[in-house]
Amino acid sequence: MERQSPHPTGGVDYPRTMQEFDEWFSSEDACTSYLAKLRWPDGFVCPSCGVAKGWMTARGQMRCAACQRQTSVMAGTLFEGTRKPLRLWFQAAWYVTSQKFGGNALGLQRVLGFGSYQTAWTWLHKMRNAMVRPGRERLSGSVEVDETYVGGKEEGVSGRFTEKKAVVAVAVEVHEPKGFGRVRLRQVPDVSSASLVGFVQEVVTPGSSILTDGWKSYDSLPQHGYHREKIVLSASGDPAHVALPGVHRVASLLKRWLLGTHQGAVSNKHLAYYLDEFTFRFNRRASHARGLLFYRLLQQAVQADPLRYRQIVDRKDHPLGPAG
């Protein structure tokens, strides 16, 4: 179900400044009411009897006017079962969305005064999980596709690499005459046809034009209903010539972000979460209102299934499947 309001307005739907944020969310009740509005944009409907009438109790629950059943605003959302004030979550969401490059766990720990680094880390991952909208639409038109290699976390004084670099498949919409649209990124196990064409099928609408380099794994794209345009590097070897400028740009931004904001400390096991956050940010790069990012994040958070710490650590239980 599509619940995104097409044109949320600053100062009405979301706070525009830190000062507005503080004024709007000065109490737990204010935060709960805000979430209730995001969760039921057309008004509360009782999940038990379907009657569209109810009110909020003093304990932050919605009570059905017909069957009297109480529904927790937070049940079934990212915030389910939290023992921390909602207000703290809102501050965390504001922190993550108001930083130009997003926050890292150490920064969040400092801002919220958490005793534990692990709590901050878990919160960030829960929020990243909410950044991926379930059932989001696929890319279309002209789409560049290529692979890039990231990570290879280094550990210990010996400087020994404990992990190999991860393969990340990248898809970028190309606009005419210039400019790029949305991106999709996915960690893939290898550069085989199964992995790469499988990625394209997941993220790009059939009938689209796929621009790739000459790698043979992409040869079967036409059999799956895609037009393939093979872009071959100029024989002159001109270093200024970039065959797939969109992918090239996205890949270098991704690497810079992983090294800068996250100091290269992202392990392959958790890379998928960072790719989600990067995608969320990149696809909303044109919205200069940071408050709008905050709004979108919370809007998606009330639709997300609660994600428990164990699932984050061991992604094989994750609804999106293994990280690869």
Q: How far is the CB of 167 from Zn ion (least distance, A)?
A: 50
Give the nearer residue to Zn ion in terms of CB position, either 18 or 67.
67
Joined together, the tokens standing for residue 233 give 């590097």
Site string for Zn ion, 105-124 (x = CB under 5 A): --------------------
Q: Which listed residue (64, 93, 171, 272) binds Zn ion by CB under 5 A?
A: 64
Footprint of Zn ion on 199-258 (CB under 5 A): none
Q: 3-state DSSP call for residue 236?
A: coil
Give the nearer residue to Zn ion in terms of CB position, either 47 or 207.
47
Q: Which listed residue (67, 233, 313, 320) binds Zn ion by CB under 5 A?
A: 67
Q: How far is the CB of 53 from Zn ion (least distance, A)?
A: 8
Q: How far is the CB of 74 from Zn ion (least distance, A)?
A: 18
User: How many residues of this chain bind Zn ion (CB under 5 A)?
Assistant: 8
- Please state, in angstroms and rounded to a whole number, the distance separating the CA atoms of residues 81 and 175: 44
Helix axes 117-131, 290-301, angle to 10 degrees: 90
Joined together, the tokens standing for residue 58 give 């003093």
- Please state, in angstroms and rounded to a whole number, the distance separating the CA atoms of residues 180 and 259: 23
**CA 224 to the chain's CA centroid:** 27
Give the nearer residue to Zn ion in terms of CB position, either 56 or 243.
56
Give the nearer residue to Zn ion in terms of CB position, either 65 or 313.
65
- The string of DSSP codes covering 36-62 is HHHH-TT----TTT----EEE-TTSEE
Give Cβ neighbours of residue 254 (< 8 Å, ≥ 6 apart): 148, 150, 168, 170, 185, 275, 278
Footprint of Zn ion on 21-60 (CB under 5 A): 46, 48-49, 51
Give the nearer residue to Zn ion in terms of CB position, either 51 or 259.
51
65 touches Zn ion (CB under 5 A) = no
Q: Segment near Zn ion (CB under 5 A), from 19-27, 68-76, 85-93, 295-303? A: 68-76
Q: How far is the CB of 208 from Zn ion (least distance, A)?
A: 45
- Please state, in angstroms and rounded to a whole number, the distance separating the CA atoms of residues 241 and 47: 57
Answer whether 200's CB lies under 8 Å from 221's CB. yes
Q: Which listed residue (66, 75, 233, 320) binds Zn ion by CB under 5 A?
A: 66
Q: How far is the CB of 86 from Zn ion (least distance, A)?
A: 24
Q: How far is the CB of 43 from Zn ion (least distance, A)?
A: 13
Q: How far is CA 289 from CA 89, 274, 296, 311, in A?
A: 20, 22, 11, 32
Of 53, 88, 57, nearest in space to 73 by CA: 57
Site string for Zn ion, 134-163 (x = CB under 5 A): ------------------------------
**CA 126 to the chain's CA centroid:** 10
Q: How far is the CB of 52 from Zn ion (least distance, A)?
A: 9
State the amino acid at position 290 in one-letter form: R
- Please state, in angstroms and rounded to a whole number, the distance separating the CA atoms of residues 277 and 194: 25
Q: How far is the CB of 65 from Zn ion (least distance, A)?
A: 8
Which positions lie near Zn ion, rule CB under 5 A?
Answer: 46, 48-49, 51, 64, 66-67, 69
